Amino acid sequence: MYAQRAILQSRARSLIKTLIPVTVQQQSNEFSFSKVEQDRTIFTVRASRATQFKDQNRALLQDVWITIYGREGNRNDNIHTSECNYEPTTGNVICQGEVKIDLANTMPGAAKTADNALQVTTQNLSFNRETGEASTAAPVQFRFADGQGHAVGVTYSSQNEIVRLSHDVQLDLAPSARTGDLPITASGSSLEIRRNDRVVNLAAPVMVRQGNRELTAQKISIELDSDFHARNAIASGHPRIRSTDAKGEFTASGNQFEASLDSAGWIQKIIADGNVEGTRRAAGSADHFAMAHAVFGMQPQHNQVKILTATGAVALDSRQGNDLRSLHTESLLVNFVPGTKPNESRIDSAETIAPGTILSKTATDTTKLSARKFVARFNPAGHMEELLGHTDVQIQRQLSAAAAQNLKAQDFGAKFSPDGEWSTLDESGGVVFAQADHRASADRANIVRATDTITMDGSPVISDSMSRTMAANVMINQKSGEIRADGKVVSTFKQNGAGSAMNFGAGLAHISAESMSGSTTSGHVTYSGHARLWQGESVLESNQIEIWRDDKKLQASENVVAVFPQASQQVIPFAPPQAQAANTPARPTLWTIRAPLLTYLGDAGRAHLQGGVTADSLQGSMQSPTLDVFLASSQPRPASLNGLESPSKPVVRGSGTSTQSTGPPSGQQLQRALALGGVTVRQGDRIGTAEQAEYTASDGKFVLSGDHPTIIDAASDATTGHSLTFFVANDTILIDSQQGSRTLTKHRIEK
């Protein structure tokens, strides 16, 4: 038994000598070393087997684990490989085979790897005991919770807790609800993970793709929270976003883009800062925007825009063919709502927080709007359906070659049709409209694009260089020049020379009526419903008054009553000087004329009345089928449009009444009147009949002629002749009998 044991031991010693090469100095089943600073283990290198070689400064480690705890002891990162060479003198651990690195925010001793672990696979990794840095230049594959990626070369420092992917970095994020169910690919020249700072940096050139969208930048930095979830991402170095779809191409750029995320990875806010610009191009259209700063608030858990705040020289331009619309302001707020398609949002409303200007150009129309505030609302198709302007609104509009239109108001509201063109425009609060010499003002105004009409109410006033009109409401067609006013219409006209249709008397002419219609282009205007014209001492009343500006013509119809002052008498034939003075009136003599129709020709200064005329004055009266009244100026006074306020209306009393005059007569006055077609003249108890009668104001005489003129006087028999002339002032009658050269003069002496 003892001999047998000795033989077996001898054989075992011989076998050991044959299994251990002569170059091996020592073998052990376990190997480890650690780096400790201030009683805290920074990292530990472990191997299940270690072989120390003779005459070589190295040891072969098998089943190697390098566990990194960090200076704070809050990490449990592991580097694992099957075999490494350890050089004790240099402290290098060189692993030539496949190496796996697990980077996780897990406390030492945790049961499992954290969900947000980064798993890296590479080869030819070296780890230095002194520096605590692991690195390789070989290709790298890595995986993380939401995706995977690859790069060339990796450096991992346990001292400052920085991981660097050296070259050709690409990350592929798996589709999820946060990514719109689309994969995301990010690439860059290098990637750096700073664990202590909780920052991930992807260096230029950086490109991020998601479906048909891409982002390029010089750098993307991602800030992580305490659980190493992304909470903030910054794209800097002139980032640019580009996307294409069936509608066209969209691009946006700026100095920096920043996105804030919640712990679940949903985007909460996007900030674009510095020289922000964007363009959308489609077939036949192009949109462009520019601003200094923009903030996008996102819908919770949808990654869809909810609100946009833009500041600093905000400019929005939109072109449709040759049509242009633009908005300029210093601050803009835009609200979005979910669109009709999944993961899509649309504009619901927009408002300027600072004064703004909106410009609209078409082939025939240029409109510029400015206000302290604009509010726009959009329909589900994305087209503007309403635009509101508040405080100090100004609208400038140019229609083809027409004169520019200017409109001012405190507030306005515009409605838009489905084709994007405005259909109606409502203004309120001190509305003032001006075009060339035409002006209009009112409390409220409405413009209809289809008919190109302006309707004003609330004490509207319209005027031009020659007239001014007030009414309850006014309608103007801007294209045709047609105009209509209703409700207590009062117009004031400036005299336009002796040949004007409005030269019945001295000073300004005024017309009142229930309504007025006409055209500023043709100059034809009609006043209807108790129409009344007054100018100086002259008054004209009828149911309707029409004026033809270019023809210098006026016509009054239906129940016409005209009052004209007559020219002062200068010479009374056959009267002594005492009678001349005694019979000169202290106030002007007025003629009141009634007829169905009056037509006044300004060039001739002649008013033609027809249809059965009655003319009355202190000088006498005439009745005839027609009557022509000839007016002429006497001591004219210049008229002015300053103020153009409505004067008090003179009162038309009975036959022979007059208004008070504060000075000598002036303006147009009755010089003579010619009655035709069976005339009856009455003066006191004297009655004259003839085919024709003519009255001359300068000498106060009636001349009767045609069809055996006859004068019947209560104090004498009837007097006839070829023509009869009698003077009102001294009751002198001249009789032309046409019997040779004989002339008979009769003078009536009152008893």
Q: Is residue 138 part of a domain?
A: yes
For residue 547, pLDDT over 50 is answered with yes
pLDDT single digits (tens) 147-178: 889 999 999 887 778 889 999 999 888 777 76
Q: Which residues, 6+ apart, have CB-to-CB distance to 72 below 8 Å?
A: none
What are the pLDDT digits (tens) for 723-749? 888 887 777 778 877 664 344 455 554
The gap between the terminal CA atoms of the chain, to the nearest Å, is 200
In a domain, 618, yes or no: yes
DSSP assignment of 629-692? EEEEESS------SS-PPPPPPP--STT-----SSS--SEEEEEEEEEEEEEEEETTEEEEEEE
Is 113 a member of any domain?
Answer: yes
H/E segment holding residue 313: strand 305-320
Pick the range with the lowest mean pLDDT from 436-440, 652-656, 666-670. Answer: 652-656
- Could you read off the pLDDT of 213-223 as tens digits, one per residue? 899 999 999 88
Query: 297 in a domain, yes or no?
Result: no
CA distance 580 to 730: 9
- For residue 662, is it within any domain? yes
Q: What is the mean pLDDT of the chain?
A: 82
Q: What is the pLDDT of residue 246?
A: 76
- Pick from 174, 189, 212: which residue ends a domain? 174
Query: Which residues does 619 contact at the CB level (< 8 Å), separation at least 6?
Result: 566, 589, 591, 683, 695, 700, 728
**pLDDT tens figures, 64-117:** 999 988 777 777 889 999 999 998 888 899 998 899 988 865 444 444 445 557
The mean-pLDDT minimum among 354-363, 550-559, 640-649 falls in 640-649
Answer with the one of 152, 174, 196 that is the final residue of a domain.
174
152 domain residue, yes or no: yes
Percentage of the chain beyond pLDDT 70 is 85
Please enumerate in sequence order all residues whose Cβ is within 8 A of that of 200, keeping only pairs 6 or more positions apart, or say none: 191, 192, 193, 194, 221, 222, 224, 230
Tell me the C-alpha distance between 179 and 209, whole Å. Answer: 11
Tell me if 673 sits within 8 A of 606, measured CB to CB.
Answer: no
Expressed as residue numbers, the domain containing 51 is 14-174
Do the beta carbons of residue 710 and residue 722 sit within 8 Å?
A: no
Highest mean pLDDT among 173-187, 578-592, 631-645 belongs to 173-187
pLDDT the model gives residue 640: 42
Output the domain CATH number for residue 697. Answer: 2.60.450.10
- End position of a domain, from candidates 123, 157, 174: 174
Cα 120 to Cα 156: distance, rounded to the nearest angstrom = 11
Residue 447 has pLDDT above 50, yes or no: yes
Domain count for the chain, please give it: 2
Whole-number Å distance between alpha carbons of 176 and 720: 120
